[in-house]
Structure 1
Amino acid sequence: MPSGQRYWTVLDDDLEVVPVADQWLRHLRFGRDRAELTRAYAGGVALYLRWSGSTGRTWTEAARDLGLFMVWLKYTPAPRDGVVPVLRPGPGASPARGERRINRVLVAVRGLLAYAVSMGEAPRSVLGQIYELADSRDLPAEAQGEDGGVFYRLRPLHSLREPQTPVDRATDAELVAMFTAGRNARDRLIVLLVGRVGLRRGQVAGLRRSDVHLLPDSRALGCDYPGADVHVRRRENVNGAWSKSRHDWVAPLDFLVVSAFDLYYEEGHRRLGVGGSDFLLVNLFRAPLGEPMSPEAIGELLERLCARAGLDRRVGAHMGRRAVASNAADAGGAPDEVMAVLGQKSLDSQGPYVLPDPKRVRAAVQRVPSPLGVPGPEGGR
């Protein structure tokens, strides 16, 4: 945009902007402050428009055949070198996309179609092809409201049941192995920011040098937070980094992370000299030198460290975040302390992140006295 702000859009085969999709994505970007969604939504809409065009359907008429679109999504690989593979599903064919990805594409398609109806670009009948009218009686009791009345809602007609994915935390041994596998100070700092501070990869990539305060007293810098800390801020970043938290927050740093910062600053000065980008994490070993790392580069680095460390699974940034929260709870941290460590505003938000050590859970059960007076394993009652 002329203002310097960015968003993702959709082009047709002639490399012309698709007007209704562009309007909807700009509506998402500027109307809802959801810039991080425009990339995923633009990709989903592009797939829908590619399918409708290749099958001779207009994009508004194609809404009635979303079931066929779902089959196409499941078995048609992404195009390579501009060539879309021919769909030839058969017995034993390997899916090109999983249930979660297909559902995300359908969310984007429904959003586009609903927006088009609201703007008069598509007939109102399209809504009946993508939604069914449902009432609150099929919702859990806690979601039905206190007055007991029935309210109506739109429920998507097309969706797939997604397999349950196990939620797990990174173990201390895995994080130590990844840290040890790091070949430079920058990579080791990234492991600590993920597995000891609890930052998401978008937050790690979006850090600026001015966000980091390593002195015991940073009031001269305008920071009243006691001790070393890093300020996590939501801002526009040229490298696509984005903080999921809507509010700014401060994460405390322990002596291990402070030491890692010192080593990284020394390494950066040795490689690049003075000056350069205000972004904290930049390219030190490949071109373009000094340019900020992207969130994708952070994820790829963690994957390489897992392979280099010989781990039997991929440990991502979110697993490191769960490890930070779980370790804080296992060490006796109160719920409000864990909430502050994660940078969250509600105690309910930390539930998916706190996975207690099984030994602590077993010890808690064993501390409960037996109602029958049977002595416990240590002779207690």
Structure 2
Amino acid sequence: MVAQLSEQKHLSYLPPGYNPGEDGQFRVARTKVIKFKVAIEGFEWLNQQQLATIVGLTRHARDRFLIALLAGTGMRIGEGLGLRREDMHFLANSAGLGCQVSGPHVHVRRRRNSNGALAKARFPRWIPVTEELVTLYADYDFERGRVVEASNVDMVFVNLFKAPLGRAMTYHNAKDLFDRLARQAGFKVHPHMLRHTAATVWVRGRTPRDVVQNLLGHVSASSMEPYLHAAEEDKREAVERVAAIQKGQNRE
């Protein structure tokens, strides 16, 4: 049985100083057939202080809106970069746009985009947004209005500061932004962490799981599991609560 867990392998490349033997007899070694992978690290999220730090490090209204949008709606980066201006229903009443959803919201739709961005969820959904997010969008729209090349582009997120101006932002553009912010902040941050941040805030705020599932665009409830994060204060509170109960029982 043990022999079945290893096999002979010819060593084509030898480490420095290794003696293969006069006839190369030591070039054959037994190696493991089954290789174990390290467990996948848990997905991370940002607390409110970290999120405020990242937003504070942004230099442009566009970048502040992108971060706030991802953290406030739980969108995937592909969904965010694939947004069209027609998807932004930020009025109190969108009936004039042919939409019956009340209040400010954004529509997420799966479609082909020039920048390669793609909504993973196959079914369209809408996500409510806050007044603060609407204000950030207005700031970005003003910033964008000063770039002539972006005036007739329907994509929401476009290049405003580097050529080619007006072209839809790509995954590469977004990665460069988040990498720079991470270096400045001194901690890891990437777009998917903001999706986890949104989900964690909703769950910790006792939002029903089925509502969170709908907001995230998950078809299966099991897809929610990676988004359930316990904060340090939650774990400490749980331990201290049990200790207090046990202490009270011992006194009785």
- TM-score between the two structures when normalised by the length of structure 1: 0.54
Partner of 1:257: 133
* 8 Å Cα contact 1:201/1:299 also seen in 2: no
Distance 1:342 1:162 in 2: 28
Unaligned runs of 5+ in 1: 1-66, 72-86, 92-156
Distance 1:338 1:374 in 2: 38
SS in structure 2 opposite 1:247?
Answer: coil
Partner of 1:325: 199
Which one of 165, 189, 210 corresponds to residue 289 of structure 1? 165
| Cα displacement string for residues 10-45 of structure 1 (whole angstroms, at most 9, x for unaligned residues) | xxxxxxxxxxxxxxxxxxxxxxxxxxxxxxxxxxxx
Partner of 2:43: 167
Partner of 2:222: 348
Please show how residues 26-105 of structure 1 align to structure 2 within 5 Å.
90=15
SS in structure 1 opposite 2:107?
Answer: strand
**C-alpha displacement of 1:159:** 7.2
Identify if the C-alpha distance between structure 1 residues 273 and 235 changes in structure 2 by more than 3 Å, giving closer, same or farther.
Answer: closer
Partner of 2:113: 237
Which one of 315, 322, 327 corresponds to residue 189 of structure 2? 315
Partner of 1:26: none
| Cα displacement string for residues 192-223 of structure 1 (whole angstroms, at most 9, x for unaligned residues) | 12222211111111111111110011122122
Q: Which of structures 1 and 2 has the larger relative contact order (alpha carbons within 8 angstroms, sep 6+)?
A: 2
**C-alpha displacement of 1:257:** 1.1
**C-alpha displacement of 1:348:** 2.0
| Cα displacement string for residues 65-101 of structure 1 (whole angstroms, at most 9, x for unaligned residues) | xx99xx9xxxxxxxxxxxxxxx96736xxxxxxxxxx
* 8 Å Cα contact 2:42/2:226 also seen in 1: no
Distance 1:190 1:89 in 2: 50
| Cα displacement string for residues 342-376 of structure 1 (whole angstroms, at most 9, x for unaligned residues) | 12233222110121333234445627984785289
Verify: 1:215 aligned to 2:91, yes or no: yes
Identify if the C-alpha distance between structure 1 residues 290 and 330 changes in structure 2 by more than 3 Å, giving closer, same or farther.
Answer: same
Partner of 2:68: 192
Which one of 58, 81, 90 corresponds to residue 182 of structure 1? 58
Identify if the C-alpha distance between structure 1 residues 265 and 363 changes in structure 2 by more than 3 Å, giving closer, same or farther.
Answer: same
* 8 Å Cα contact 2:150/2:165 also seen in 1: no
Between the two proteins, the alignment pairs up a number of residues equal to 228
* 8 Å Cα contact 2:110/2:122 also seen in 1: yes
Identify if the C-alpha distance between structure 1 residues 201 and 158 changes in structure 2 by more than 3 Å, giving closer, same or farther.
Answer: farther
* 8 Å Cα contact 1:231/1:250 also seen in 2: yes
Aligned-pair RMSD on alpha carbons?
A: 3.0
Q: Percent identity?
A: 31
